[in-house]
Amino acid sequence: MSIQIHKNKCISCGKCRNVCPGNLVYADSEEKAYVKYPRDCWGCTACLKECPVSAIRFYLAEDIGGKGGFLYTSQDKKEYLTWHIINKFGKEETIKINRKESNKY
Ligand code: SF4
Ligand code: SF4
């Protein structure tokens, strides 16, 4: 699994840098985020959940059906987070989560 940050979408908010538990995300000279140590990323997806502009992609490993498949998120009025899952054939599925209820079991 690996993370890719799209520089052209990044608005330099710094949220991904603040939440990465491994301090793997840095800012370049334009304050755009990038993953400095991609091999150390363990795919917690904290950065994806914070990015307000869908600039971060999380590529799925082959052994869980990835091989070109990836995830990203979009946000809706701060309450809802939508996961977009694009499979290796380009087909998209979405899962919408109410953030306030996401930790209820
Ligand atoms: S997925 Fe987790 S560990 Fe990897 S860069 Fe994002 S916040 Fe850091
Ligand atoms: S959270 Fe998204 S927009 Fe904000 S710095 Fe990170 S990649 Fe850029």
pLDDT confidence of 1, banded at 50, 70, 90? low
Return the ligand number nearest the Cα of 43: 1
The pLDDT confidence band at residue 103, using thresholds 50, 70 and 90, is: confident
Q: Strand locations in 47-87, DSSP E?
A: 56-59, 70-76, 80-86
Ligand 1 contacts CB of residue 42 (under 6 A): yes
What confidence tier does 6 reach under pLDDT thresholds 50, 70, 90? very high
In the chain the domains, ranked by start, together with CATH numbers, are 2-101 (3.30.70.20)
Instruction: Measure the CA–CA gap between 6 and 99, rounded to whole angstroms.
Output: 24
The predicted pLDDT at position 2 comes to: 87
Cα of 66 vs centre of ligand 1, distance in Å, is 18
Confidence of residue 101 (pLDDT cuts 50, 70, 90): confident
* Amino acid, res. 18: N
For range 20-49, the mean pLDDT: 95
The verdict on the CB of residue 68 being under 6 Å from ligand 1 is no
pLDDT tens-place string over residues 35-70: 998 889 999 999 999 999 999 999 988 777 678 899
Q: Side by side, which strands form the sheet with 56-59?
A: 2-5, 56-59, 70-76, 80-86, 92-98
Best probe residue, ligand 2, of 4, 5, 23, 57 (max atoms within 8 Å of C-beta): 5
Phi, psi of 47 (to 5 degrees): -65, -40
Which pLDDT score, from 0 to 100, does residue 104 have? 72
